[in-house]
Amino acid sequence: MEARGATGELGRERGGAERRLPGWVLGVIPLLLIVAAVGAFAALDGPGLGERRGPLVEELAVERTELRPGVIELTVRNDGPDAVSIAQVIVNDAFVSFDGADEPIGRLESEQVVVRQPWIEGENYEIGLLTSTGATIAHAVEAAVQTPETDLSFYGLMALLGIYVGVIPVALGMLWLPWVRRIPPSWLRMVMALTVGLLAFLGIDATLEGLELAGQGSQAFGGAALVLIGAAVAYLSLTGVSAWLEGRRQRSERAGASGGSLALLIAVGIGLHNLGEGLAIGTAYATGALALGAFLVVGFALHNTTEGLAIVAPVARTGPSLGRLITLGLIAGGPAVLGAWIGASAFNTSVAAFLFGAGAGAIAQVIVQLMPTLRDDHGRTLHPRAVGGLLAGMALMFATGLLVSV
Amino acid sequence: MDQLTRRRLLAGGVPALGLGAAALHGAIGQPTATATAAAAAPGRAGDHGGGTAGHGGHASFRGGEVDHEANGFDPHEIVRDFDYGKTSKLPDGRTLREWTLSASEQEVEVAPGIKFPAWSFNGRIPGPTLRATEGDRLRIRFVNGGRHPHTMHFHGIHTAAMDGVAGLGAGEIAPGEETVYEFDAEPFGLHLYHCHVRPLAEHIAKGMYGTFIVDPKAGRPEADELVMVMNGFDTNFDRANEVYAVNTIGFAYMNRPIQVVRDELVRVYLVNALEYDLINSFHLHGNFFDYFPTGTSLKPTEFTDTVMQCQGQRGILEMRFPHTGKFMFHAHQSEFAELGWMSFFEVCEPGNRDALCRIEPRKEP
Ligand SMILES: [Cu+2]
């Protein structure tokens, strides 16, 4: 009896100590133990695992190439497990002098390599980075062209370009609002279906482009996974935002058309898409892959005009103020300017892949939100007019897309 | 960014489709002009990517020179290093020359900062320059200190058993084993030896070759003699060379030229041991030379400034420099030249070579 009593007292004592400790301490203790265990494992050099086998794995991704008079500048990132020393550089079968990368480049570190090469405009250059083990990391510069200096006038040009391909077309597309207001509900549903078709095309396009970029960039940051993560982040964020908007609306008024928040969501989704578009244009311009011309700008304008229609379709039955319409237009078109700036000055394939994924995720979320508006009086979503609208939307995007691709 | 798909953008030359309204066209006229000017700018700044900034003299390695001491050999020594072996007299009065060569594996810094896992004879690439006189008896003890089977296959006239190939005589020499190759030095001329174990290209490209000189009985005229083995290294194992050289280290004689004396006869024993490329060549600046293919005749076949050799081909070059100063010699395949096979002679006034030749400090490129 005595013994049992003592045990019971001990138990109570321990329970008391647990209760006395603040909750956060209990949360931190396992964390500290994990840190200690990992630290000990690393300090003891992985006891029991033995020597690392096999040769060094040397991987460098060239994230950015800039050409200036007499030099080719590469921004490389080590995306392999081992440090990489660039010992020599070969350009078109000749050793060349270069600056940078004096020390080994550690995992995930990035480094500028400035290669002195009297390059000739329009010609191709094959650059080989020779590592200390004699391995070659090849990088091709196709049709060399000088990288524009990123001064104020350059940013001005990029802003103008963003306005031409993003803001103005979206604004022009929004001019359909008065027409959309007058058409009967069955026709409006078809216009909404057209919008969904347009968005579906953009979503697929953004995904493919993101995956392609992810393939080029440093794989250490996730490669193709970045696109999917970006899509998930955007989808979930927008779902959260829309739920919040819905809750606010319900608190303030009785149930009614949720066209306003839908239009905002579409604007955000298209804005993310145009951010990617601006990114691609800015990068292409900075690397000389883009020849600006009237035809190109007109092509983009036509292509993006349809996006304006997509924004105004859900608000057709409400009476949005001019200020609200302008805000929606800027949210949808403005990011093209931002994208062009980022793309031209600090392009990073991993970031771009993530942003393209985010654009795709945003568009997917918007499509999910839009689908109920297609429903006809019988509750059908994919009725003939909706299907016609969807196909027409995709066809329209495909056709106008041809204007800006070769 | 050449992979813009849908946005792979039209690069001009597209007929205007009359799409743009006049107003829109007017609006975009301005930036288009600006962009065109910007695109044209690099062209104006000079066709060579804007000036001469990238020319910087000759192709060269970053970091100047390799660590010859760590490599265990120096091309500046190899170029004048002849190994006559341990000599003794045979009962019949002939000279017997004996060498011991051992195969080993070592890392060689073939360009500053680049280590190549090499195989070598006596720890150097090219292997020792074995030199004998026509009719001598030669006895080469070969010890395989490597981890792979090797042989020594001599170019020359000998019995099948002494040919140093698999299945004949001692055949392949296993790691830790040894053998003796014995034959007469014939014919006189410039030859080579190399390992002859498959895969052949790999055993040779890793460095298992050397020069074998058989002097004619009457000898050759007194000269400043040089050995140059043209070779290269495939550092990334793609069966194409990344680095080219004479005597292994690219640009070695650019940094420190080979000094010769004005009007003095210079004799170059030139051997092509290059793998993976079909041919190699030697071109001399500011001078011509007599060429003796394989060195088997005392009469030159050609007076030229450029010779071509395929794999295993070799020949003797004889020249006198009438002018002092620095004269380049290099492969006339520009690619090989700029990947390392580029060198300088520095011609000095007669007299003391070192005192009269100004040795320029090795400077960083
Ligand atoms: Cu061998």
C-alpha of residue B1 to centroid of ligand 1, in Å: 46
Residues B287, B246 contacting (CB under 8 angstroms): no
- In chain B, DSSP finds a helix count (H) and a strand count (E) of 7, 20
**pLDDT interval class at A187 (50, 70, 90):** confident
Between residues B153 and A52, the one the model is more confident about: B153
C-alpha of residue B154 to centroid of ligand 1, in Å: 13
Contacts of B31 in chain A (CB under 8 A): 157, 160-161, 164, 292
Contacts of A95 in chain B (CB under 8 A): 59-61, 111, 250-251, 338-340
Contacts of B28 in chain A (CB under 8 A): 164, 294, 297-298
Q: Is A100 on the interface with B (CB under 8 A)?
A: no
Percent of chain A topping pLDDT 90 = 9
Task: Check CB contact under 8 Å for B1 and A85.
Answer: no
Q: Is the model's pLDDT at B167 over the cut of 80? A: yes
Q: How far apart are CA B38 and CA A285, in angstroms?
A: 11
**pLDDT interval class at A294 (50, 70, 90):** low
Between residues A194 and A370, the one the model is more confident about: A194
Q: Is the dihedral of CA A331, A332, A333, A338 positive or negative?
A: positive
Q: Is B29 on the interface with A (CB under 8 A)?
A: yes
The closest alpha carbon to A105, from A126, A128, A88, A81, belongs to A81
Percent of chain B topping pLDDT 90 = 74
The closest alpha carbon to A89, from A63, A107, A65, A114, belongs to A114
Contacts of A166 in chain B (CB under 8 A): none
Structure tokens that stand for A22 in this block: 């603040």
Contacts of A283 in chain B (CB under 8 A): 1
Residues B189, B295 contacting (CB under 8 angstroms): yes
Chain A interface test: which of B2, B3, B5, B6 (most A C-beta within 10 Å): B6
Q: Is B60 on the interface with A (CB under 8 A)?
A: yes
Task: Check CB contact under 8 Å for A88 and B47.
Answer: no
Between residues A144 and A7, the one the model is more confident about: A144
Residue B265 burial (10 A CB sphere; 0-12, 13-18, 19+):
middle
Contacts of A64 (CB under 8 A, 6+ apart): A73, A74, A75, A347, A348
Structure tokens that stand for A70 in this block: 């007499």
Residues A303, A401 contacting (CB under 8 angstroms): yes
C-alpha of residue B341 to centroid of ligand 1, in Å: 25
Chain B residue closest in CA terms to A101: B62
Q: Is A232 on the interface with B (CB under 8 A)?
A: no
Contacts of B38 in chain A (CB under 8 A): 148, 157
Residues across chain A: 406
Structure tokens that stand for B141 in this block: 């003890």
Q: How far apart are CA B292 and CA B321, in angstroms?
A: 18
Q: How many angstroms separate the most distant Cα atoms in chain A?
A: 97
Contacts of B222 (CB under 8 A, 6+ apart): B265
Q: How far apart are CA B296 and CA A11, in angstroms?
A: 103
> Which residues on adjacent β-strands are paired with residue B289?
B304
Residue A185 CB-half CA count within 13 A: 6
The interface predicted TM-score (ipTM) is 0.74
Residues B288, B305 contacting (CB under 8 angstroms): yes
Residues A72, A127 contacting (CB under 8 angstroms): yes
Chain A interface test: which of B3, B5, B9, B238 (most A C-beta within 10 Å): B9
Q: How far apart are CA B132 and CA B84, in angstroms?
A: 6
Average pLDDT value for residue range A173-183: 83
Count other C-beta atoms under 10 Å from residue A83's C-beta: 16
C-alpha of residue B150 to centroid of ligand 1, in Å: 4
Cβ under 8 Å to B: A residues 336-365: 347
C-alpha of residue B152 to centroid of ligand 1, in Å: 8
Question: Residue B300: in which H helix or E strand, if any?
Answer: none
Chain A interface test: which of B3, B8, B10, B241 (most A C-beta within 10 Å): B10
Q: Is A95 on the interface with B (CB under 8 A)?
A: yes
Chain B residue closest in CA terms to A204: B6
Contacts of A205 in chain B (CB under 8 A): 5-6
Residues whose CB is under 5 A from ligand 1 (ion)?
B 150, 195, 197, 203, 208
Average pLDDT value for residue range A238-251: 75
Average pLDDT value over all residues in chain A: 78
Chain A interface test: which of B19, B24, B25, B28 (most A C-beta within 10 Å): B28
C-alpha of residue B249 to centroid of ligand 1, in Å: 21
Q: Which pLDDT value is given to residue A244?
A: 79
Average pLDDT value for residue range B171-175: 94
Contacts of A138 in chain B (CB under 8 A): none
Q: Is A59 on the interface with B (CB under 8 A)?
A: no
Q: Could you tell me how many CB contacts below 8 A there are between chain A and chain B?
A: 212
**pLDDT interval class at B97 (50, 70, 90):** very high
Average pLDDT value over all residues in chain B: 83
Residues A398, A201 contacting (CB under 8 angstroms): yes
Task: Check CB contact under 8 Å for B235 and A133.
Answer: yes
Q: SS3 for chain A, per residue?
A: CHHHHHHHHHHHHHHHHHHHCCHHHHHHHHHHHHHHHHHHHHHCCCCCCCCCCCCCCCCEEEEEEEEECCEEEEEEEECCCCCECEEEEEECCCEECEECCCCCECCCCEEEEEEECCCCCCCCEEEEEEECCCCEEEEEECCCCCCCCCCHHHHHHHHHHHHHHHHHHHHHHHCCHHHHHHCCHHHHHHHHHHHHHHHHHHHHHHHHHHHHHHHHCCHHHCCHHHHHHHHHHHHHHHHHHHHHHHHHHHHHCCCCCCHHHHHHHHHHHHHHHHHHHHHHHHHHHHCCCCCCCHHHHHHHHHHHHHHHHHHHHHHCCCCCCHHHHHHHHHHHHCHHHHHHHHHHHCCCHHHHHHHHHHHHHHHHHHHHHHHHHHCCCCCCCCCHHHHHHHHHHHHHHHHHHHCCCC
Residues B244, B340 contacting (CB under 8 angstroms): yes
User: Token match 């080579």: residue?
Assistant: B192
Q: Which pLDDT value is given to residue A220?
A: 67
Q: How far apart are CA A121 and CA B317, in angstroms?
A: 42
Kindly report the nearest CA distance between residue B338 and chain A, in angstroms.
5
Is the link from the previous residue into B199 a cis peptide, with omega within 30 of 0? Answer: yes
DSSP state string for B107-121? EEEEETTEEEEEEEE
Kindly report the nearest CA distance between residue B2 and chain A, in angstroms.
6
Q: Which pLDDT value is given to residue B284?
A: 97
Residues B286, B244 contacting (CB under 8 angstroms): no
SS3 assignment, position B334: helix
Q: Which pLDDT value is given to residue B43?
A: 35
Least-confidence region, from A38-47, A81-90, A113-122, B53-62: B53-62
Task: Check CB contact under 8 Å for B236 and A67.
Answer: no
Q: Is the model's pLDDT at B224 over the cut of 50? A: yes
Q: Which pLDDT value is given to residue A290?
A: 56
Structure tokens that stand for B257 in this block: 């030229």
**pLDDT interval class at A38 (50, 70, 90):** confident
Q: How far apart are CA B209 and CA B193, in angstroms?
A: 6
The closest alpha carbon to B252, from B60, B58, B57, belongs to B60
Residue B34 burial (10 A CB sphere; 0-12, 13-18, 19+):
middle
Q: How far apart are CA A61 and CA A64, in angstroms?
A: 9
Q: Which pLDDT value is given to residue A205?
A: 81
The closest alpha carbon to B315, from B281, B276, B265, B340, belongs to B281
Count other C-beta atoms under 10 Å from residue B48's C-beta: 17
Structure tokens that stand for A57 in this block: 């794995």
Residues B344, B301 contacting (CB under 8 angstroms): no
Q: Is B43 on the interface with A (CB under 8 A)?
A: yes
Between residues B137 and B27, the one the model is more confident about: B137
Between residues B338 and A371, the one the model is more confident about: B338
The helix-helix angle for A152-162 and A259-286 (nearest 10°) equals: 140
Question: Residue B205: in which H helix or E strand, if any?
Answer: helix B200-205
Q: How far apart are CA A324 and CA A332, in angstroms?
A: 12
C-alpha of residue B151 to centroid of ligand 1, in Å: 6
End-to-end CA distance of chain B: 32
SS3 assignment, position B228: strand
The CA–CA distances, whole Å, from B302 to B127, B132, B294, B307, B317 equal 29, 26, 13, 9, 10
Q: Which pLDDT value is given to residue A403?
A: 67
Among the partner-chain residues A87, A135, A146, the one whose CB lies closest to the CB of B41 is A146
Chain A residue closest in CA terms to B234: A134
Q: Which domains does chain B have, with CATH numbers?
A: 73-215 (2.60.40.420), 224-357 (2.60.40.420)
Contacts of B335 in chain A (CB under 8 A): 93-94
Task: Check CB contact under 8 Å for B114 and A88.
Answer: yes
In tens, the pLDDT along B39-96 reads 333 333 334 443 343 345 788 888 878 999 999 999 999 999 999 999 999 999 999 9
Is the link from the previous residue into B293 a cis peptide, with omega within 30 of 0? Answer: no
Average pLDDT value for residue range B298-311: 96
In tens, the pLDDT along A267-280 reads 887 787 777 777 76
Q: How far apart are CA A216 and CA A61, in angstroms?
A: 8
In tens, the pLDDT along A60-102 reads 888 888 888 889 999 898 888 888 999 999 999 889 989 988 8
Task: Check CB contact under 8 Å for A134 and B52.
Answer: no
Q: Is the model's pLDDT at A55 over the cut of 60? A: yes
